[in-house]
Structure 1
Amino acid sequence: MKLVVSANGNVIGFLSMDTQIGLYAFDYSTSWLDREDCFPLSPALPLVRQNTSDEQHSANVRQFFQNLLPEGQALDDAAQANKVSKSNLMGLLVALGRETAGALEISMTEASPIPTPTPSKRLLTPQELSLRIRSRPDQAFSVWDGKVRLSIAGYQDKIAVLEENGLWFLVDGKGLASTHLLKPDPIRSGLQHMTSNEFACMRLAQAVGIATADVRLEHIPEPILLIRRFDRLIGEGNIERLHCIDGCQALGLGVSMKYERPYGDGRDVQHIRDGATLPKLFALLDRASSQPAVDRLALLRWSIFQILIGNTDAHGKNLSFFIDSGGIRLAPSYDLLCCLMYAEGQISDTLSMAIGDNFDARTLTPYDWALMGAECGLNARLVGRELKQLADKVLKIWPELKQNLVAAGANDTTLNSLEGVFNQQCTNALSIAGLVPKISKDIL
């Protein structure tokens, strides 16, 4: 089994699997390696293969490409719609690989008897979308016209659409690409108005100076959140795809390792912290970023902001990086959400990645922040200063922003709940920020 991996019409390489021994391999094409602007798919898959065994190379390849697939129910729906096992990576990539996150397009080789899909662009009306949102208990939201319209990782319902002149289209085939992700509220009653929650957190991040994907809230009449894809450049008559990888792909981790505690928070396994962590991400920027000082400061601010808004689900796949011939660069933020609003059993209140050794966003101490700084190679004064400045900005900006969010259609009750969390988290941060630099290095 062999697949072609391309980007914007250029063949990057070939993904293969030996079905006899169950090993994967990826080989960059000669034409790609000859380009002056060529780049690796990720730091874990360098242009020149290192001294790794076939087994380790196979694991690196499998982990990278598995991270392109959706998770949870969306993966189940994709497997069922295409009549392949959800453990069949190659089969799922054939089905979903033409509209991945980033620039990559995955297809059969030219010698394959399977024809390339004819380009198609179908109008998606608000009426049809509204009906499908209401039909989700009985009909998979990611499957339209018998095709899966999603290959974006994550658990929330979402589809990828092309927006042109205020209209939405489902697109398929060569030369076409989506420009936006469209999210309705979750089906679970305890998570209603999550669109307003995410809309508010994303707009707040922009307001305090954190690079964030553009979002807007619309009602059809159901609320839907539209997120403009930052891995797409919309030009005159064409859409360029930008190569973008998530934190797990950048770290060479599988999707199951997106949480720092990949085996859970239970007593017997909570000490195992083999998954994505802030120290690993900062170390990645040190060795691979084309602008390490800029990216390290941005990652610190991203980390602090998650605490201030109560986002306990900020895991390794909720960070992304652009990658080109110069290295990696931190991409805009996305999936910003106040999870502490749902801490009554709907969403875990345990942090996905610890601050120091503390996984509780509500009980962080100066020691926790100082330890985090030491582990990530950050100056304690910088950590304390950024903690104070961001908390001050959130409290100052929120009242006026809240009024604008209400005017944009956000749910008022949800915004009031968010305000309570923001005030508590920011007040806690301000009470300890000045003490962070005073923690003795001898006890860290």
Structure 2
Amino acid sequence: MMSGSRFPELNLYFLEQKVGTIIFENERQCYLVYDGEWIHHGFVISPHLTFNTAIDSVATSRFIQNLFPEGSAFECLIELQNLSKYNLYAILKTIGHDTAGALSFLKTEPNSETVLRLVTQKELIERLKDGSRKNLAFWDGKFRLSVAGVQNKLNVFCDETGQFFLADGGYASTHILKFSSTRFPNIVLNEFFSMRFAKAVSLPAAQVDLISIGHFRALKVKRFDRKRAKNTVQKRHMIDGCQALNLPPESKYEQNFGSSKDVANIREGVSLSKLFEFANRTSVPAQTKQHLLDWILFNLIVGNSDAHGKNISFYIGKNGISLAPFYDIVSVVFEHQENSDIDINLAMAIDDNFDINQIRVYDLISLAETIGFNFSLLKRRLERMLKTCTEQLERLRFEQLSRDEENCLEQYKFLIRERISYFVSELEQFDDVYASNFYSK
């Protein structure tokens, strides 16, 4: 849509309400112009895309880039659609109908017509047999992977009978199906247990189920930004950690240039201190910070070193900003036992320590000091998390697992018990470490 402008444009919608127009100055740069009606009755879609200041192209472009798939999924998109990886307009036009949250980017007005295309078990099985990401992502001439992330996945609408559909028009995806790969055959089981374990210890976490598609296993993730309703799908707007901090997707790791010695000291990406600072902008900062701390402690216990800036999100709307449920919790340390080439450096350091296997209570207290978190509360939350994890680890039981899956989970549980034991011994030193290094400060 050109509207008399020499620059290409896409209309931005929240559900069926027009939010504004994205104007593309060139392939790599664009800016948002809010619609006047939206300014009066809507809300800012990001803290960095505000009503009362001029919106620069950097903030808009970063916001949009964070909506794109990552890694091989992104390479698949640009190959199948014959796109330049730098052409924001072409990429957004391709996937913008069903991005994360409630926003859509369209050349015309939203189509409210109900369009549901059944995905049969037979079709899915054939595509999974092929093992090609292309086959999973490309359906009926259309790219169907419009959420960020690197894992094999497919966005689907799931009806009340459990059938899967590809959705368009007034409908949208309600679930994400995630699949294993040859390199990571246990990743689905790993994430299923990790997410269920997180819920069991009272972390706000996305709902997941382990399902079978023929002899293939898949993780069915209920989208917490979507809710099925009569003849439609209700959506809720959200932003990820990179969008919250106005950073590009490649800055999702704190060491944004990598961990090699020559660049390891460059730490301009998403960090825990930046996230805790952003928590002050949420509706209930104290609650947000407590959930963040619990998430950090749980990730350390299960060995999830890859909790980066795109693995955390915030709802944003008229009532302000709030933390969304946690997702993509996987024990990378457990996967490392089978694939030693996997990097297990922490995505975000605990104070200055990136080694997930050498986090000491000193590091945790130092982090608390940096983010202004009460030391005694840190100790109580660590005590509670270790106690609850110990109890719930033995209570979690799942039916219809194969013997191999049960054996895999027993190995994972053994790792968790070891890590709990390690942090229990660290906790016993809390008072002495605090008194010796922090009390006089």
User: Scaled by the length of structure 1, what TM-score is found?
Assistant: 0.92
Shift of 1:86: 1.9
Q: Which residue in 2 is equivalent to 1:441?
A: 438
* CA deviation vs aligned residue, 1:205-230 (integer Å, no higher than 9, x gap): 00000011111011122001100000
SS at match of 1:141: helix
1:436: Cα distance to partner?
3.4
Cα distance in structure 1, aligned partners of 2:133 and 2:347: 32
Aligned to 2:18, the other structure's residue is in SS state strand
CA-CA distance at 1:169 after TM superposition: 3.4
Alignment match of 2:301 (pick from 303, 308, 312): 308
Correspondence 1:45 to 2:52? no
Match of 1:176 in 2: 171
Q: How does 1:31-430 map to 2 (within 5 A)?
A: 31-35=37-41, 38-49=42-53, 57-109=56-108, 120-137=115-132, 139-188=134-183, 191-220=184-213, 221-286=215-280, 288-343=281-336, 344-401=339-396, 404-407=397-400, 411-430=405-424
Q: Is the 8 A contact 1:177 1:239 kept in 2?
A: yes
Structure 2 portions without partners, runs of 5+: 1-7
Cα pair distance change 1:97/1:345, threshold 3 Å: same
CA contact (8 A) 2:111 2:170 kept: no
Matches of 1:85 and 1:172 in 2, distance apart? Answer: 26
- Matches of 1:413 and 1:443, distance apart in 2: 49
Deviation at 1:347, TM superposition (A): 2.4
Post-superposition offset of 1:117: 10
Which letter maps to 1:94?
Answer: K
1:105-144 CA deviation, whole Å, 9 max, x = no partner?
101156xxxx969753111111211111111248442111
**2:15 aligned to which of 8, 21, 26:** 8
Cα distance in 2 for partners of 1:443, 1:23 equals 51
Separation of aligned partners in 2, 1:443 and 1:304: 26
Distance 1:442 1:391 in 2: 24
**Contact between 2:282 and 2:321, CA under 8 Å: does it hold in 1?**
yes
Q: Give the C-alpha shift of residue 234 in structure 1.
A: 2.0
**Worse-superposed segment, 70-79 or 425-434:** 425-434
Decide whether aligned partners of structure 1 residues 236 and 83 sit closer, same or farther in structure 2, where only a CA change above 3 A counts. Answer: same
DSSP-derived class of the 2:358 partner: coil
Please tell me the residue identity of whatever aligns with 2:344. D
Query: Structure 1 residues 104 and 435 mapped into 2: Cα distance closer, same or farther (>3 Å)?
Result: same
Deviation sequence 1:318-352 (CA, Å, 0-9, x none)? 00100012321110011010110122434211000
Q: Rate the CA distance shift 1:239–1:109 in 2: closer, same or farther, 3 A.
A: closer
CA deviations on 1:265-289 (whole Å, 9 max, x unpaired) are 1011111110000000000011x10
Instruction: Quickly say closer, same or farther: Cα 1:424–1:443, change in 2 above 3 A.
Output: farther
Give the letter for the 2:60 counterpart: V
**Any stretches of 5+ residues in structure 1 without a counterpart?**
none
CA offset digits 1:349-381 (Å, max 9, x no partner): 100011111111111112100011111111111
| Shift, 1:442, TM fit | 6.6
Q: Quote the sequence identity (%).
A: 33
- Is 1:27 paired with 2:20? no
Partner-residue secondary structure (3-state), 1:211: coil
Shift of 1:416: 1.7
User: Residues 165 and 408 of structure 1: is their aligned pair in 2 closer, same or farther, counting only changes over 3 Å?
Assistant: farther
CA distance in 2, matches of 1:426, 1:70: 35
* Contact map agreement 1:161 1:170 (CA 8 A) in 2: yes
Provide the C-alpha distance between the structure 2 equivalents of 1:433 and 1:128, rounded to a whole number of angstroms. Answer: 51
SS at match of 1:316: coil
| Structure 1 residues 5-53: Cα deviation after superposition (integer angstroms, max 9, x where no partner) | 1011011111111139x64211111010111xx2211112122226x7x
Quick one: distance in 2 between partners of 1:239 and 1:118? 12
More RCO (CA 8 Å, sep 6+): 1
Maintained 8 Å contact 2:180/2:188: yes
Q: For structure 1, which segment, 159-168 or 289-298, has the greater mean C-alpha deviation from structure 2 after superposition?
A: 159-168
Residues in 2 aligned to 1:380 and 1:90: alpha-carbon distance in whole angstroms: 48
How many residues are treated as equivalent by the alignment? 427
* SS of alignment partner, residue 47 of structure 1: coil
Aligned equivalents of 1:385, 1:48: Cα separation in 2:
42
Which range is displaced more, 122-131 or 167-176?
167-176
CA pair 247-85 structure 1, distance change in 2 beyond 3 A: same
Work out whether residues 217 and 408 of structure 1, in 8 Å CA contact, stay in contact via their aligned partners in 2: no
**Aligned counterparts of 1:72 and 1:138: Cα–Cα separation in 2:** 11
| Contact 1:4–1:108 (8 Å) recurs in 2 | yes
Moved more, 69-78 or 135-144: 135-144
Q: Residues of 1 paired with 2:95 and 2:165: CA distance?
A: 14
2:425 to 431, 434, 442: 431
What residue is the counterpart of 2:4 in the other structure? Answer: none
Which is worse superposed, 237-246 or 94-103?
A: 237-246
RMSD: 2.0
